[in-house]
Structure 1
Amino acid sequence: MLFGKKKNKKSSNIAMMDSKVNEDFVEEKVTKIKDEDVELVMDNEEAISKKLSSASPLKKYKELGKIMFAMLKDVKNGTYPNMPWFTIATVAVALLYILNPMDLVPDFIPGVGYIDDLAVLSIGMGWIETDLHKYLDWRLAEEKEA
């Protein structure tokens, strides 16, 4: 297991039809991520970015998606080596989940199709917020030096 269970974990359940997206669901997916899955995210950057841009409920995550892709690229090419695997795996799960049109609530269902995508993004971002801020601080410092 990549990480231990969190103590006193509050479950962020978001009910959707007959299914629930919660922290346990996302955590289970994160623990199963492999290097090949991260490569799959990188190979599908354009499709994921397009979905973030074109799906009305996901548009506010467009910039966040750009940051996550930049972070993965910097980790992959070794310019930012300080990223825990848990954070990389969480980003991969969130972006792969968005890419998948047939997830817990299929995206083509009007009004509710993106609720589960938003839930997975929100849960994941809550877990890695600190690492995202560290990465952005590092990027700003790098830009000042250049």
Structure 2
Amino acid sequence: MIFGKKKNKDSSNIAMMDSKVNQNYVEEKVTKIKDEDVEVVMENEEGISEKLSNASPLRKYAELGKIMFAMLKDVKKGNYPNVPWFTIASIVVALLYVFNPFDLVPDFIPGIGYIDDLAVLSISMGWIETDLHKYLDWRLAENEKA
């Protein structure tokens, strides 16, 4: 019982350190996103969507991925212009990270291969959740007009 408690305490410390490392990693990548990176995401929409749908740990993000792609398309077309660059960059970083098979923890490792993908997606979602809700509200309003 003593060993179990110590193990849990150490695990939570590792998880907190890992979360901070991932958050710093994501922040650094978001600040370096360029317009060309948005194009790369758009060109790879099918592959990214497929990975989100087929990797069981990432399935819960499949619908969010669709919303993110729709938002990027509407921004690119000029239909939805008032989006902070930070939001666009966060979406691009999250989706490119998921698409990249050579990330911090390779996806082919059973059981833990998607932990880093989940962390990057979760961190990004935490930052842009409000903007995604605004976008969905806008889409509902647009659909009601049509």
TM-score by length of 2: 0.87
Q: Deviations over 1:54-84 (max 9, x none)?
A: 0000001100000000000000000000111
Structure 2's unaligned 5+ residue stretches are 1-14
Aligned residues: 132
> Segments of 4+ in structure 1 off by > 6 A?
none
The aligned residue for residue 15 of structure 1 is 18
The aligned residue for residue 44 of structure 1 is 44
User: How many Å separate the matches in 2 of 1:34 and 1:13?
Assistant: 30
Structure with higher helix content? 2
Kindly state the Cα deviation for residue 21 of structure 1 after the two structures are TM-superposed.
4.1
Secondary structure at the residue paired with 1:101? coil
Alpha-carbon spacing, 1:58–1:104, altered in 2? closer, same or farther (3 Å): same
Contact 1:21 1:120 in 2 (8 A): no
User: How many Å separate the matches in 1 of 2:124 and 2:145?
Assistant: 31
Kindly state the Cα deviation for residue 15 of structure 1 after the two structures are TM-superposed.
3.1
Aligned-pair identity (%): 78
The structure that has the greater radius of gyration is 2
| AA in 1 matched with 2:34 | K
The aligned residue for residue 97 of structure 2 is 97
Kindly state the Cα deviation for residue 22 of structure 1 after the two structures are TM-superposed.
2.4
| AA in 2 matched with 1:82 | N
TM-score by length of 1: 0.87
Structure with higher strand content? 1
User: How many Å separate the matches in 1 of 2:126 and 2:42?
Assistant: 22
Secondary structure at the residue paired with 2:18? strand
The aligned residue for residue 87 of structure 1 is 87
Structure 1's unaligned 5+ residue stretches are 1-11
